[in-house]
Structure 1
Amino acid sequence: EFIYNCPNGRLDKKNFTDIYEKFYPNGKVDRYCEYAFNTFDRNNDGTIDFEEFLLSMAATSQGSIDDRLGFVFDMYDTSRDGLIDQKQLTSLISAMFDLLGTSACRVDCDPETLAENIMAYLDINGDKKLDKKEFIAGCKNNDSICRLLAPNI
């Protein structure tokens, strides 16, 4: 399908978003695609070539659970400092809710409160930030959090 959608061998952000829209027709994919595209585009040239695409697909579908969750963490670590703070967590939860559509969230579920609760649960050292180790351990130990933050793992 990659070659069909990208005969020149490169997938730009618009085409990438269009593909996600096919898989999530009831959701708003833009914000989530921003996270995913920036992670898949490993050389930061504004496109995803076939090798980058394959490496990213393999990272999320093969390997150990720790490796796959580590890849997800890297996708969400938008500041690239090895940490996810509460603001980043709130933003990514909002993006996940947008992606999955309104049915994914109960009426009483707001991303900011949910991020605060997840942070309190996962932040073992109490610094109000999640490092990769805390993120991986938390997702492995709580199925609900894992389904929200890493639904395809």
Structure 2
Amino acid sequence: MNRYNCFYKSCPEGFISKDQLLGMYYGAFPSGDPKNFVEIAYKAIDLNNDGSITFDDFIITLDVCKRNSTEKIDWIFRFFDMDNDGKISKEELKNFVEAIYQMLGKKEVESLLDNTVEKRVNT
């Protein structure tokens, strides 16, 4: 099944709502709370800022993520620059990292941190 058919099968309205995206992330990260991350991601994926993720937004995002380009850097910058002022503040970076930790869940974050410390000590 091609991406277009798959998208419209999952989203017959023609767009992904924030609640639908949240449900997808809860499915992928059942031990965490992805609400804050979804807020950030939704804003970054909604390329024309119309409040919905259309098929075009979805495909462009997938395409940009597969590239190794300036477009990819610009798109990633959108994740961090939450107030769209063209700068990434310490607060924005902190909010992004906290959203990732919340999404993963406490046990997963602790496991990742323990694993990283263990690797650093044993190398």
For each residue in 1:18-39, what CA deviation from the matched residue of structure 2 results, as whole angstroms up to 9, or x when unmatched?
1111111111111000011011
Aligned CA distance change for structure 1 residues 4 and 28 (closer, same or farther; 3 Å): same
1:64 and 2:80 are equivalent in the alignment = no
* Pairing of 1:124-143 with structure 2 (within 5 A): none
- In 2, Cα distance between equivalents of 1:65 and 1:23: 28
**TM-score normalised to the size of structure 1?**
0.63
Equivalent residue for 2:17, pick from 12, 35, 40? 12
- In 1, Cα distance between equivalents of 2:104 and 2:74: 22
- In 1, Cα distance between equivalents of 2:71 and 2:77: 10
* Pairing of 1:114-153 with structure 2 (within 5 A): none
Q: Matched residues, percent identical?
A: 25
* SS at 2:75 equivalent: helix
* Pairing of 1:108-119 with structure 2 (within 5 A): none
For each residue in 1:28-59, what CA deviation from the matched residue of structure 2 results, as whole angstroms up to 9, or x when unmatched?
11100001101111222211110111111222
Give 2:121's aligned residue. Answer: none
Equivalent residue for 2:91, pick from 65, 87, 91? 87
- In 2, Cα distance between equivalents of 1:40 and 1:57: 10
Q: Report the structure number with the largest CA radius of gyration.
A: 2
Query: C-alpha displacement at 1:4, in angstroms?
Result: 2.2
Larger strand share, 1 or 2: 1
Name which structure has the greater RCO, CA cutoff 8 Å, separation 6+: 2
Give 2:31's aligned residue. Answer: 26
Unmatched 5+ residue regions in structure 2?
A: 1-5, 117-123
Unmatched 5+ residue regions in structure 1?
A: 110-143, 145-153
**TM-score normalised to the size of structure 2?**
0.76
